[in-house]
Amino acid sequence: MAATAAATVLSSGRFYALIGFEIHVKLATQSKMFSPSSSAPAQTTNSQVAPFDMALPGSMPYFNRACLESGIRAAVGLNCQLNKISHFERKHYFYPDSPAGYQITQQRYPFASNGVFHYPLLVKKDKLKSSTKHKFVDNQNSFVIKQCRIERIQLEHDTGRSIHDDSQNRTLIDLNRFGTGLIEIVTKPDIQSSLEGESFLRELNRLLLKYNICEQSGLETAVRVDANVSLHRIDTKPDGNRIEIKNLGSFIDVRQAIDFEIKRQEQLLINNYSIKNETRTYDTNKHQTIHLRRKEDQIDYRFMIEPNLPPLYLYDDNDKEIYEKNFVNIDDIKRNLPISPLDERKQYLDKYKDFLTAEHLHELLRLDMIVSYYIELIKDHL
């Protein structure tokens, strides 16, 4: 993206920001992705572990169809192209909480790609540009409909958990979480501010809950976010350099980390320093990002096709020949999906326009049960 009138220029008047997300979503399935072990939270360590989760010799993965069905619901909600043939791969790396020495993922051959997600951004009417397209307007506010492109959605499994015991100078491993089904949603760098980023993630979270893709509300337990932040001069094209901020666990963390990183990079560029590719984390106590490693230090993951799992095949109602290997019907899943969060928002504003402002609805929709309670209160006045 070159610097255009559409780019949001920072306060210095010299730079604009581009932000992309890598979002890991824990799927609401009863068992893990490649073993029959329960994926529910466990009270006792290593109590929900199958031989495959421990990488015991001879153990084989058995794919959980429910994980793919959840992934397809997410892909439809994000308006993605569903690839009728996709493959699992091994991503090789060594870490104590991954006993096999690799993760099963879909880095190069995802089941969904090339999507676009529309989300509302609440803007005061006096802040709107005359050229801005907007919907759902009341006397003071407007929902500007923004969009973010989705690069891909891939299936993968979660790692185990390391428990550090400083008193005895040791690290213990809990494999209850290992193998839990995830989808990773990778966006294009279409977000231009922390406010846009938070609005995107809140609307995405509503979609994930409404479509029964994950169970928990908010980012704290079901969703983990990595944010890629880069700044560019308004008279130049993006140079590809970016800072990755790992493992953001709440909406507040996302917004504060992006704000800090934009200001940090802006000061570096003002002082004629260059931005190097780097991985950082966010310190919630100091409210700042901290260096973890340089991107140049990243290892070669040696991706290879997973030999113990067949390709995933999808089909729809238009396919004339359906073989046994085509085991998920896309149209069956589409037919059972509820209304999208964006369309539901429009319905609420149309039906309850005498009682709701855009700003009130924006706050009420943070929790669906609050919306239901509010509508119950006002229904006698309709």
Q: Which domain holds residue 58?
A: 15-337
What's the pLDDT score for residue 349?
A: 81
Q: From the centroid of its chain, how far is CA 276?
A: 25
Residue 373 lies in a domain: no
Q: From the centroid of its chain, how far is CA 175?
A: 23
Q: Total domain count for the chain?
A: 1
pLDDT, one tens digit per residue, over 36-89 is 999 998 889 999 999 999 999 999 999 999 999 999 999 999 999 999 999 999
* Residue of 294, 216, 225 whose CA lies nearest to 256: 225
pLDDT, one tens digit per residue, over 134-154 is 455 555 567 788 999 999 999
pLDDT, one tens digit per residue, over 235-290 is 877 776 899 999 998 999 999 999 999 999 999 999 988 888 999 999 999 999 99
* Beta partners for residue 314, in sequence order: 328
Residue 6 lies in a domain: no
Residue 322 lies in a domain: yes
Residue 325 lies in a domain: yes
pTM of the model: 0.91
What is the rounded distance in angstroms from the CA atom of residue 372 to the CA atom of residue 350?
16
Residue 381 lies in a domain: no
What's the pLDDT score for residue 12?
A: 67
Checking 138-144 for CB contacts under 8 A at 24+ apart, the result is 138/353, 138/357, 138/358, 138/359, 139/357, 140/357, 140/358, 140/359, 141/357, 141/358, 141/359, 141/362, 142/358, 143/345, 143/358, 143/362, 144/120
* Phi, psi for residue 31 in degrees, rounded to 5: -125, 170
Residue 129 has pLDDT above 60, yes or no: no
Residue 206 lies in a domain: yes
* Residue of 96, 94, 249, 247 whose CA lies nearest to 163: 96
Q: From the centroid of its chain, how far is CA 11?
A: 28
Residue 246 lies in a domain: yes
pLDDT, one tens digit per residue, over 99-122 is 999 999 999 999 999 999 999 988
Confidence band, pLDDT 50/70/90 cuts, at residue 368: low
- Summarize the confidence of residues 26-41 as an average pLDDT: 95
Residue 2 lies in a domain: no
* Residue of 121, 119, 122 whose CA lies nearest to 147: 119
